[in-house]
Amino acid sequence: MSSTIEIAVVGSGYVGLVAAVCFAEMGHQVTCVDNDPRKVAALQGGDSLIHEEHLPELLQRYRNGRVTFTTNLGEATAKAQAIFIAVGTPQSDTGHADLSYVEAVACEIARHLDNYKVIVEKSTVPVYTNEWIRRSIERNGVDRKMFDVVSNPEFLREGSAVSDFLHPDRIVVGADSERAAEVLKAIYAPLTDGSYYDQQGIIPGRFSSSEPPPLLLTSTKSAEIIKHASNAFLALKISFINAVANLCEATDANVQQVAQGMGLDSRIGPKFLRPGIGYGGSCFPKDVAAFRSVADQMGVDFALLTEVEKINATQRKRFLSKVRSALWTLRGKRLGVLGLAFKGDTDDIRDSPAIEMVKMLLGEGCSINAFDPAGMERSEAVLPAGDKLKYAADAYAAAEDADALLILTDWPEFATLNLGKLRTALRYPILVDGRNMFEPAVAAQAGFNYYSVGRPAAHPTRDEVA
Ligand code: UGA
């Protein structure tokens, strides 16, 4: 039988908020702390602030009950057995992670430590952060026996964060003390002993009580490296398939067939082999840079990561050339753009390859009519609408009278668009697909000159044009 644990989660961003409501869903009592009073008020009122499946329903179920929101870190620390630090670790100019928010939180926690507590790194942090947190707490006069610092990295993806949290491939706990490890094991017991999956109305996912997820116990440093190494490896997989896609383009091969052939090897696996205009988001670009910076600092040659970044940046430039060669010249062209978010199923535009493409195209003198199912509000804040950039009500309106239509984000709903209707809306039937959303033959049958990534271009036959 799992027991209820008093938890504080510091930071109510993607990781913090999801962790807070999911710990409540697992039966724990949670105080979620944020230093922004407006955010706290919004969360107390039931506004989940981010576009994330299952988050509104869990927030509704637990807010002001099993999860309370506050700006008072001191009070939250005083009553918690475990304090999860889930604040931002932005990228500094040199690529390494800026840990000043983590440090500030550690110092504040130190001021309120009056009995044994476990402090948990949940934010993505470089190796050795654990030791720095410990040192700053000790520097603030706290006895070493009063606390332990553990690393418990998060592997959730935006868009499926809640089900990733409750149905994790693995739970990694990096702890150098038995006592701290026991607290973390107790927190995750509802998942690891399977009892959560026996309850009614749970968030559905791949695990069940007969097959619960594994918990991997490691040293703190190993856990810190697991997080960075996992993200860097996934980014590497994407850059690898993008480089293969470029080779396919040069040889008239089809990257989709190549990826399928590679992915059937169980040692390689089919996931993260989708080529496109490169990876983006708040994690991969920042984490690859931070991991490279850690290796540099430690005197380890990890030039492979520099190549991963280089291929990723080149992918955008190649796409721009593809648009140019489909249209001959760019200046003065009207383009319809589908997708602004960094990937489908999210409203997040941080480090979005699509936003970068839009900026590049505007810089080339194009005018753009863009549509994204969820990311337009955030886009408007960084790219305000004006003469050259408009936001459309739907995909068909974005295509209206455009010289070509570009797909920049893999929103699943784009794959079900009516190609005939799009073609009629466009001035010229040109579709440049940066996310390989359509089968080339299908797009050509619908009358399109279709260009995608790593697959031969497809053109309509005379009958199809008619
Ligand atoms: C990523 C990881 O997948 C999570 O495991 C991790 O916890 C998270 O970062 C984090 O560190 O917080 P996320 O950033 O939500 O999650 O997005 P992904 O689904 O991994 O996609 C990242 C980028 O790669 C997107 O721009 C996506 O379009 C691109 N991508 C992904 C490809 O271009 N090809 C693929 O095959 C897969």
For 14-58, what is each residue's pLDDT tens digit? Answer: 999 999 999 999 999 999 999 999 999 999 999 998 888 999 999
- How far apart, in whole angstroms, are the C-alpha atoms of residue 283 and residue 262? 26
For 402-429, what is each residue's pLDDT tens digit? Answer: 999 999 999 999 999 999 999 999 999 9
CA of 234 to the centre of ligand 1 (A): 8
- How far apart, in whole angstroms, are the C-alpha atoms of residue 7 and residue 177? 19
Dihedral sign computed on CA atoms, order 91, 93, 98, 101: negative
Full-model pTM: 0.95
Atom of ligand 1 nearest to the CA of 348: 15
CA of 52 to the centre of ligand 1 (A): 15
| CA-proximal residue: ligand 1, atom 12 (nearest) | 283
pLDDT at 280 over 90: yes
Q: Starting at the earlier edge strand, list the strands of the sheet with 215-218.
A: 67-70, 29-33, 6-10, 82-85, 117-121, 147-151, 171-174, 215-218
126 Cβ inside 6 Å of ligand 1: no
Q: What is the mean pLDDT of residues 305-312?
A: 98
**Contact assessment for residue 455 and residue 254, using Cβ atoms and an 8 Å cutoff:** yes
| CA-proximal residue: ligand 1, atom 8 (nearest) | 157
Domains of the chain, CATH where assigned: 6-218 (3.40.50.720), 311-465 (3.40.50.720)
CA of 279 to the centre of ligand 1 (A): 7
273 Cβ inside 6 Å of ligand 1: yes
pLDDT at 466 over 60: no
| CA-proximal residue: ligand 1, atom 37 (nearest) | 272
Q: What is the mean pLDDT of residues 68-90?
A: 94
227 Cβ inside 6 Å of ligand 1: no
- Active-site entry in 22, 32, 283, 366: 283
224 Cβ inside 6 Å of ligand 1: no
- How far apart, in whole angstroms, are the C-alpha atoms of residue 404 and residue 370? 12
Q: What is the mean pLDDT of residues 294-311?
A: 96
Ligand 1, residues 151, 234, 338: which to mutate, most atoms within 8 A of Cβ? 234
CA of 284 to the centre of ligand 1 (A): 7
For 253-278, what is each residue's pLDDT tens digit? Answer: 999 999 999 999 999 999 999 999 99
Measure Cα distances from 87 to 84, 206, 271 in Å: 9, 29, 29
| CA-proximal residue: ligand 1, atom 17 (nearest) | 157
| CA-proximal residue: ligand 1, atom 6 (nearest) | 155
The yes-or-no answer on residue 283 being catalytic is yes
Ligand 1, residues 155, 239, 279: which to mutate, most atoms within 8 A of Cβ? 279
CA of 277 to the centre of ligand 1 (A): 13
Atom of ligand 1 nearest to the CA of 281: 14
CA of 200 to the centre of ligand 1 (A): 31
For 23-33, what is each residue's pLDDT tens digit? Answer: 999 999 999 99
CA of 134 to the centre of ligand 1 (A): 31
Q: Residue 134 corresponds to which tokens in the numbers above?
A: 């410990």
157 Cβ inside 6 Å of ligand 1: yes
For 347-379, what is each residue's pLDDT tens digit? Answer: 999 999 999 999 999 999 999 999 999 999 999
**Per-residue three-class SS string for the chain:** CCCCCEEEEECCCHHHHHHHHHHHHCCCEEEEECCCHHHHHHHHCCCCCCCCCCHHHHHHHHECCCEEEECCHHHHHHHCCEEEECCCCCECCCCCECCHHHHHHHHHHHCCCCCCEEEEECCCCCCCHHHHHHHHHHHCCCCHHHEEEEECCCCCCCCCHHHHHHCCCCEEEECCCHHHHHHHHHHHHHHHCCHHHHCCCCCCCCCECCECCCEEEECHHHHHHHHHHHHHHHHHHHHHHHHHHHHHHHHCCCHHHHHHHHHCCCCCCCCCCCCCCCCCCCCHHHHHHHHHHHHHHCCCCCHHHHHHHHHHHHHHHHHHHHHHHHHCCCCCCEEEEECCCCCCCCCCCCCCHHHHHHHHHHHCCCEEEEECCCCHHHHHHHCCCCCCEEECCCHHHHHCCCCEEEECCCCHHHHHCCHHHHHHHCCCCEEEECCCCCCHHHHHHCCCEEECCCCCCECCCHHHHC
Atom of ligand 1 nearest to the CA of 410: 28
With a pLDDT cut of 70, the percent of the chain lying above it is: 98
pLDDT at 2 over 70: no
185 Cβ inside 6 Å of ligand 1: no
| CA-proximal residue: ligand 1, atom 16 (nearest) | 157
Mean pLDDT lowest among 31-40, 44-53, 194-203, 326-335: 44-53
- How far apart, in whole angstroms, are the C-alpha atoms of residue 404 and residue 414? 16
What pLDDT score was predicted for residue 97?
A: 79
pLDDT at 287 over 70: yes
* Mean pLDDT, the chain, integer: 95
The Cβ of residue 7 has, within 10 Å, a number of other Cβ atoms equal to 27
The Cβ of residue 161 has, within 10 Å, a number of other Cβ atoms equal to 24
Q: What is the mean pLDDT of residues 75-103?
A: 88
CA of 351 to the centre of ligand 1 (A): 12
